[in-house]
Amino acid sequence: MKIINIEAIPVPIPFTHGGPMTDFVVGKAWTELGHLLVRVDTDADITGYGDAFGFNAIHTTKTAIDTLITPIALGRDATEIGPLMDELAVKTHIFGRYGITTFALSGLDIALWDIAGKAAGLPLYKMLGGAYRNKIPAYASLLKYGDPDICARLTEEAIGSGYRSIKLHESTVAPVAATRAAGGDKLPIMLDVNCSWTPHQASKMAEALAPFDLHWLEEPLWPPENFEALAQLRAESGIPIASGENACTVWQFEQMINNGAVDYAQPSMTKVGGLTEMCKISTLAETANVRIQPHSPYFGPGFLATLHFIAASRDIDLIERFYVKLETDMYDNTLDPVDGLIRVPDGPGLGMDPNPTFIEKYRMDKA
Ligand SMILES: [Mg+2]
């Protein structure tokens, strides 16, 4: 089955999020959630979809796919996923082992797994060995507001709609205190700092945060690969540490885990190299008694692939659901949580294709 066409389609989706933005990720005017769909067609009339991270890097990642990946992958056997992804990783490594190049590889890998599942007539979770569960509890991943009142209001709203755990993207104590007060003593609260602190600052903040019983503290340190300091913070604070959305392939996860840096490793399907690399990281983590908690603040094929991956994993109990309202959802809102649970689709491959009407409406590369 030959790959006859690869199309990287930038799709910015207008969204709202319940409040004004502070300096989160792309700045104050963040009104569109960028996705880069990767459509792969084969000569067997099977089409697969992947996506590559993301946000305001989608045009840069598209260029990497168009100029670095597609020239090598066109004409190749779509079912030879491992050999092709290995070859692409070797041939592109001189342009960077992490970041845009690996995001681009992730998009292709996810699409090839979608094709493999469709060719076999099996949902991806069965290709991975079968499901431990078919509904995955989602946690509401709030954006960064820097405003305790907004965090409290959105926490109450999310709990009211069925969520049973909340993640904040904040770097001060007051929003955490407000969320604990709003959600009660038993609510699991995760705090994602997005690499804001030095080790010294993190040590002070961990003391201040101790009364709020965090379920995990995510990416507290800059730089994220400072694994020795992360391990020291983990040991001294006693707070479970999560990290990995900025880690490069299974090799850097090995360094992270061997340093004792994390309780939860957080590979991201659209960033780390796709499903192929996720499976390698999963095996590594299992043998080191480290739990996986994937990063998934996106809504396309990468989210679907994450759902299948979690369904087929014995010890992952949550999926990250970005707490935003999209103007239009590419899967017609069929993945929205019901009572805090997201059902894993059981159609072949990823189980669903993006709605073609959605793609035509939002794609930015129209002639
Ligand atoms: Mg994070």
pLDDT band at 366; cut points 50, 70, 90: low
How far, in Å, is the centroid of ligand 1 from the Cα of 169?
8
For residues 27 and 103, membership in a common domain is answered with: yes
Q: 364 falls in which pLDDT band (50, 70, 90)?
A: confident
Residues 88 and 209 in one domain: no
Q: Which domain holds residue 214?
A: 126-343
pLDDT at 275: 98
Residue 148 vs residues 15, 174, 181, 274, 289: alpha-carbon distances, Å: 22, 6, 10, 36, 35
Q: How far is the CA of 194 from the centre of ligand 1 (A)?
A: 6
At 55, list the tokens.
Answer: 């946000």
Identify any residues that bridge with 325 across adjacent strands, giving them in sequence order.
16
Neighbours of ion ligand 1 (CB under 5 A): 192, 245
Judge if 162 and 302 occupy the same domain: yes
The Cα–Cα gap between 253 and 260 comes to: 11
109 and 164: one domain? Answer: no
201 and 284 both lie in a single domain: yes
Determine the distance separating the centroid of ligand 1 and the alpha carbon of 195, expressed in angstroms: 9
Q: Domain of 140: which CATH number?
A: 3.20.20.120
Least confident window among 122-136, 256-270, 312-326, 353-367: 353-367
Residues 156 and 198 in one domain: yes
User: Is 33 within a domain?
Assistant: yes
Q: How far apart are CA 221 and CA 193, in angstroms?
A: 8
Q: Are residues 165 and 117 in the same domain?
A: no
Share of the chain above pLDDT 70, in %: 99
258 and 327 co-located in one domain: yes
Give the CA diameter of the chain. Answer: 59
Q: Is 349 domain-assigned? A: no
- Range of lowest pLDDT (15-29, 117-131, 284-298): 15-29
Domain match, 280 and 330 both: yes
Same domain, 266 and 180: yes
Q: What is the mean pLDDT of residues 69-85?
A: 98
In the reported structure, the alpha carbon of residue 225 is separated from the centroid of ligand 1 by a whole-number distance in angstroms of 14
pLDDT at 27 over 70: no
pLDDT of residue 22: 73
* 77 within a domain of the structure (yes/no): yes
The answer to the question of residue 211 being in a domain is yes
Q: Are residues 178 and 309 in the same domain?
A: yes
Tell me if 348 is assigned to some domain.
Answer: no
326 and 179 in one domain? yes
The total of structural domains in the chain comes to: 2
Residue 243 lies in a domain: yes
| Rounded percentage of the chain residues whose pLDDT exceeds 90 | 94
367 assigned to some structural domain: no
Compute, in angstroms, the gap from residue 356 CA to the centroid of ligand 1.
30
Q: What angle do CA 248, 252, 240 make, to 5 degrees?
A: 105
CATH classification of the domain holding 73: 3.30.390.10
β strands within 2-114, DSSP E? 3-16, 32-42, 47-52
